[in-house]
Chain A
Amino acid sequence: DGGITQSPKYLFRKEGQNVTLSCEQNLNHDAMYWYRQDPGQGLRLIYYSQIVNDFQKGDIAEGYSVSREKKESFPLTVTSAQKNPTAFYLCASHPRGYTEAFFGQGTRLTVV
């Protein structure tokens, strides 16, 4: 089955620790995105990548980092510099030249 897989579904970390969220897609999509979702805030763009080895900051990139070493994978690291990391994180992708985005099921990160 083709799709976008985010893991884990739930993640707990202590304050001050870095944590990496996984996003893998087998749809052969070129573009991949990370969004953060907070209650009442909608979806805000953290980082996006259109091709391997290239990525750009979105609207709220501070405290986050990404890599795109493979077309299928776009992991997001939430660093200790992110002041309020507890949120629901969504990964999305779409093929080149299309704008219909497909979303993963999300990772809920809780920092205590």
Chain B
Amino acid sequence: GENVEQHPSTLSVQEGDSAVIKCTYSDSASNYFPWYKQELGKGPQLIIDIRSNVGEKKDQRIAVTLNKTAKHFSLHITETQPEDSAVYFCAASRGSTLGRLYFGRGTQLTVWP
């Protein structure tokens, strides 16, 4: 099956700085890569996703990049704010009707005011 590695496991940044979280995957058939944000005691929420026919996608302060050759994708958050503090998960899927996601272990992001 697919194996998704995520780094770092914890990340602390000052408010206004950028944060980058990186993931690698093993299954070359994976073609859908979502990122989820999970606040304490809540379920994960999709914040951005990318498909393999696209190299980069941006949504305001959040961007995701994908390198299919190297099998890695990254989440970039610019101008971080304290409310960005949460656990972030990357995931990979073959994008078929099966739809099951393989998750990384998560990154605890802390943004200090």
B and A form one assembly: yes
Across-interface contacts of B6 in A (CB, < 8 A): 42
Across-interface contacts of B43 in A (CB, < 8 A): 4, 6, 90, 92, 103-106
For residues 82 through 96 of chain B, which have their beta carbon under 8 Å from a beta carbon of chain A? Answer: 89, 93, 95
| Chain B contact surface mostly | loop
Across-interface contacts of A50 in B (CB, < 8 A): 97-98
CB < 8 Å neighbour of A42 from B42, B46, B103: B103
* Contact assessment for A101 and B46 in the assembled complex, using a CB-CB cutoff below 8 Å: yes
CB < 8 Å neighbour of B99 from A35, A99, A105, A106: A99
For residues 65 through 112 of chain A, which have their beta carbon under 8 Å from a beta carbon of chain B? Answer: 90, 92, 94, 96-106, 108
- Taken together as a complex, chains A and B put the C-alpha atoms of A41 and B87 apart, in Å, by 12
**Size category of the binding interface on chain A:** 20 to 34
Tell me how many residues of B have a C-beta within 8 Å of chain A: 25
* Contact assessment for A94 and B103 in the assembled complex, using a CB-CB cutoff below 8 Å: no
A31 at the interface (CB under 8 A from B): yes
For residues 45 through 98 of chain B, which have their beta carbon under 8 Å from a beta carbon of chain A? Answer: 45-46, 49, 89, 93, 95, 97-98
Q: For residue B102, give the distance in angstroms from its CB to the closest CB of chain A.
A: 8
* Contact assessment for A41 and B97 in the assembled complex, using a CB-CB cutoff below 8 Å: no
Given contacts A90-B44, A103-B44, A105-B43, is CB(A97)–CB(B100) below 8 Å? Answer: no
* Contact assessment for A42 and B99 in the assembled complex, using a CB-CB cutoff below 8 Å: no
B26 at the interface (CB under 8 A from A): no
Q: Using a CB–CB distance below 8 Å, which chain A residues touch chain B? A: 4, 6, 31, 33, 35, 40-45, 48, 50, 58-59, 90, 92, 94, 96-106, 108
Known: A98-B99, A100-B34, A103-B43. 20 other contacts (CB 8 A): A4-B43, A6-B43, A31-B97, A40-B9, A41-B105, A42-B106, A43-B101, A45-B100, A50-B98, A59-B1, A90-B44, A92-B43, A97-B97, A99-B101, A101-B101, A102-B46, A103-B44, A106-B41, A106-B43, A108-B41
